[in-house]
Structure 1
């Protein structure tokens, strides 16, 4: 009986808290559909066609409206003109990042992707400058891309023309290219440490877009200590962090300030230059998170493009049948355009 009373009181408190939070913010928020206590507007959104649901809301409430995901109000900007005004005309005002609880538990808003303000500007500026120094956007990176492409083709040839799922192999190539920029060296496709790193990165990318993660981000205060995939995300992230940190320790022992070898060396040099600056953003936390962000931003996006390219070649075999010379010249043009 006591347990039932406690549950009823707890649910009543949550209901009152939800009603109070939703009511207290309405005067400062754009209009939107009336939310239900605790669950917000979830039942009014077609999860199989979210874009259509948002379009329908914009017809009723205009291009800027409010939706509640759980007890959290979210302002939606819908349509080209409204998005352009917010992100271009008022880009500085809209440059902040919202909280992403499942990532914040290990990221702590360091790095590039989930940071904002001065930290984001400093890390973004440094990362772009360093990547360009190591060839991004220049012809000098073409050799690395061509080398990795040869390794990828060799790995595909080992299938002997039998049916296979190329997803993992196509993910290895861009991941290895990023490794060569961050760690200086690439890995063999059979290297167990490399395979484990790939597995952790891929698993987290899938889990971060899963329905459970969306539920956790909405109700993380209540389910933080419960079992679920949010625990797996944290474990995988800690493995990647420790992997990168081990490489950082190795680099510290062999660092030559007159001959920086890779991204880590350049970051360590900046750390040394600003070691007396208490406001410096060049810390181990930002170094590890920036490296992780580069993997997250460059691996899945590029491998997905490669998979779609293969799919198009299968669908249009006359393109795949072009001469070797023509394909080679096209590949060189693609490399120069995108790298």
Structure 2
């Protein structure tokens, strides 16, 4: 009888373990309601913010940008529309895509794609209202090879700011101190193996990480890879072996991400979109957050898209 109990218990553990490994049908809930994509996550003061693309139209015909805030990464509050292309921008009316935000000079600079150009708007608060800073694109359509979309700005510890953008190629250039100008002759264009779009840069322990999305956002294989360098403009060496973010089971098309660090801690999270569950596709995507971790050598470990995020509190002053 004793051996029968032991055998039964062992079989139960094996069965439970197999189920846990095979259960890819119960993805965590999204952090934003409805369909939003290309989330840029940031932290200002004691709040986290997400700036996404408004999804749900074939051809990505959205015309406005929204802002969402959270005190703990779990519960998110809709702030408002912070930039409306037809009302606030004179040079583009639709295809409002893939924004990013940066803080410098006591101002918040909001970079956005509009009709396959890149613009920049400025505000005194992370929730706006944002006003067009130039009255024209910061990066105009067809200025370089590929699409002029998906801006991201990284501000280094010394205050220098760098703009990364582009689909097809990753373009990089240092911004002027005003955050709205650059020397076009100093743009560096690279194409890491597998690069498609959605670049994002951060710094950890003196190392610069350039991340990007591979495949097309309509492809279920859409995923995220990265490279590292000793300076913000490279040269970058790709981390080979595996994507750090990819779909699995019911989660498809996981990509176009951003990364945030909890102030005062070596604790990191990745925000990204996936196909809406159920019935989603490249035009109907939803925003998620997962923990992101590193090994002792600083390599980014594969993200578990089925790991739920626990509430996080910001303790900075």
> Normalised by the shorter chain, which TM-score bucket?
under 0.3
- Determine which structure has greater relative contact order: mean sequence separation of CA pairs < 8 Å that are 6+ residues apart, divided by chain length: 1
TM-score normalised according to structure 1 size: 0.24
> Please, what TM-score do these two structures have when normalized by structure 2?
0.25
Which one has the bigger strand percentage? Answer: 2
Indicate the structure with greater helix content.
Answer: 1
Which protein shows a greater Rg?
1
